[in-house]
Amino acid sequence: MRVGQRRFRPRLAALALLFLPACLCVALGFWQLERADEKRRLAAVLAHRAAAPPLAIGDAPLDPEATRYRRVQATGRFEAAGQVYIENRHHAGKLGFHVITPLHVAGSERRVLVNRGWVAEMPAPVPEGEVTVNGIADVPSAPALALHGSAEAAKGWGTRWPYLTLPLYAAFRPAALHDVIVLQDPADPHGFARHWPREFPKEGMHLGYALQWFAFAAIAFALFVRLSLVRDERPGEGRG
């Protein structure tokens, strides 16, 4: 018995179960490539900011997105009355607090919050007189599963907070506030244990995901083609 040539005849089941998902996998692969490119460009921007000269914080408002990760410098006086502690912060395997102290910027009515570092216990002393603070600008955000983040809740926290955001602090202590926080440089005086881990965005993860999606698409396409090829027996070829 001779078998005729194969011909391509897509089947509805194969189209639904393999071809369409393969197209989706290709789309997801290209989306991951776009995400990798975004991370690459963002890493370049952040590296440029980190290498730029320190930005002096004065009375002029700051653009938080453009200032984030910039080295900054501010001169003024710390205000002990506005100091708060962010609980459950880790350092060297221990739990403690991050000390957040407002700095009244010299020659301005604005304050900028300074994270002065980690302490095992509260209260923490506040230096007197005019100081100059160096550090990295950042924008604190609430955890993904924050259960209580209203302004009224912040007013009831006292000086011990579960986390920090600038809008919550502004509700707790109304004042003209810069839209960034300063992570104080470890070399600065008047601070505590400071270790600010910060990784620039990397595209490697997204490239790996893209390869996975393209591999899934290739497998699905191959199976779709294999199941869509049917044997074509021509009349008179069925007997030998």
Residue 50 near residue 69, CB atoms below 8 Å: yes
Residue 138 near residue 69, CB atoms below 8 Å: yes
Residue 220 and residue 179 in one domain: no
Residue 84 and residue 179 in one domain: yes
Cα four-point dihedral sign 33, 34, 37, 42? negative
Residue 74 and residue 180 in one domain: yes
Residue 39 and residue 86 in one domain: no
Query: Is 61 domain-assigned?
Result: no
Residues 41-66, mean pLDDT to the nearest whole number: 85
Q: What is the pLDDT of residue 16?
A: 62
Residue 155 and residue 212 in one domain: no
Q: Which residue range is the domain that position 121 belongs to?
A: 70-184
Residue with tokens 């907070």: 161
Tokens of 169: 């602090």
Q: What is the pLDDT of residue 214?
A: 87
* pLDDT per position as a tens digit, 97-143: 999 999 999 999 999 999 999 999 999 999 999 999 999 999 988 77
Query: Is 59 domain-assigned?
Result: no
Residue 178 and residue 215 in one domain: no
Query: Is 193 domain-assigned?
Result: no
Q: What is the pLDDT of residue 107?
A: 92
Residue 206 and residue 173 in one domain: no
Query: Is 1 domain-assigned?
Result: no
Query: Is 115 domain-assigned?
Result: yes
d(CA 117, CA 119): 7
How many structural domains is the chain composed of?
2
> pLDDT category, 166, cuts 50, 70, 90?
very high
Query: Is 103 domain-assigned?
Result: yes
Residue 41 and residue 79 in one domain: no
Query: Is 218 domain-assigned?
Result: yes
- Cβ atoms within 10 Å, residue 96: 21
d(CA 201, CA 42): 7
Rounded-to-5 percentages of helix, strand, coil across the chain: 35, 25, 40
Largest CA distance in the chain: 106
> pLDDT category, 220, cuts 50, 70, 90?
confident
